[in-house]
Chains A and B, each alone.
Chain A
């Protein structure tokens, strides 16, 4: 029974179905329980929360990541799945503490000063939440000193910086310098992303990593987080 419902959760995440009213990748799925109904049912049946997360949600996103890499899935398909995981995590949130499940790490994420593009940042955020991280999104056009303040106060494990413009990506470097000046650089690992940046740029400005796309950013963080 537990295995059946976990398998159903996994399949519906892969299909990107949040509720029974949603269509999936395959047709004629409307009316069948979606992730919301299935997760609630699993909780009511006493299925272990960590089992739902590890074997239902995280495992399904691994499949979605593979499909994305194989070009079977495109960005919207991946987002539909990540959204389903996000909804499931919201339902599970009140049960996390008593089940002993801890977030895998805290991540601050922001689009840097002067840049208001945030679709890419939002995609990375939702994928990280889906992977079980606690993500604090500072928004876009975030002043450097506000990022420094948030790092000081929130003490995140990771800081994700995004920029879409060559004219604003320089503010990533300024942010890293400001963190150094405030004695915070060594307290947080920094990942950068966005169309104009690259691995070479990440190395040049002293970031710890570069995410070429959403899944790459997640796997980069997984690696820096200890490779689990």
Chain B
């Protein structure tokens, strides 16, 4: 269970976007100072950690991706990425529960504005950590002369959230402290899990985007 240090820097504009502001809108003095204050101090509220395993892909048959040990991922769109890959990195990461405990406390005490801003900072931090893990996997792939794909998480696209349990089994028990609820959500909530495909250059792995051919144009998770 390796832990990262607290040097995860988040972008204020991304946080403002997350709480509903468009890029060209200047928030009020109060909102500005509240966001600045939390960004100044949020490092004390996070305990980031992550876990990953790189597994060989045994076979891909349409929507069924066999990654060994009787672990079979099921998603047609993942299948069309992973059939070009040799390996898959499975990962899980979290920023811990301190921040979300404070969000709950704030909300219970009627401080919903503060809770909303802090929650957005938590989501932004987990996202930033996920980007760091992607970068790490990309470096590892590069050392082996390979390239890495974007990351994909259960619950998005045609990959059922119920597969979260299987993904956690692929981490060989090292879930970096994250637990799954009966409905397959992660605790702490500010956690991200997923896979990254790894394969030889020249197979359109790095920029594979299932959104390009998807007809659901209003999907909130759409990637450009």
What is the interface of chain A, defined by CB distance below 8 A to chain B? Answer: 16-17, 22-27, 29, 74-77, 79-80, 82-83, 86-87, 90, 113-116, 118-119, 122-123, 125-126, 129, 141, 165, 167-168, 195
Contact = CB atoms under 8 A, between A and B. Distances in A.
14 contacts: A26-B28, A27-B29, A74-B27, A75-B116, A76-B21, A76-B116, A76-B117, A77-B31, A83-B111, A86-B110, A113-B183, A115-B185, A118-B107, A119-B115
Given A118-B107, A119-B119, A75 B112 contact: no
B183 A76 contact: no
Given A16-B30, A23-B30, A74-B21, A119 B183 contact: no
Nearest to A121: B107
B109 to A, nearest CB: 10
B181 A80 contact: no
What 10 pairs between A and B have smallest CB-CB spacing?
A114-B183, A75-B20, A79-B113, A23-B29, A23-B30, A25-B28, A74-B20, A126-B112, A86-B110, A122-B112
Interface string B43-57: 000000000000000
Contact of A114 (B30, B119, B185): B185
Which of B30, B161, B182 is packed against the most chain A CB atoms within 10 Å?
B30
A76 B28 CA distance: 9
Contacts of A24: 28-30
A119 B116 contact: yes
Interface in B174-210: 181-185, 187, 189
B211 to A, nearest CB: 18
Nearest to A80: B113
A126 B112 CA distance: 8
B121 to A, nearest CB: 13
Nearest to B162: A167
A163 B11 CA distance: 28
A44 B117 CA distance: 35
A168 B183 contact: yes
Contact of B31 (A29, A80, A115): A80
Contacts of B113: 16, 76, 79-80, 83
Which of B19, B21, B28, B187 is packed against the most chain A CB atoms within 10 Å?
B28
A115 B183 CA distance: 8
Interface in B1-59: 19-21, 25, 27-31, 33-34
Given A79-B112, A113-B183, 5 more contacts: A76-B113, A77-B27, A122-B112, A122-B115, A122-B116
B220 interface: yes
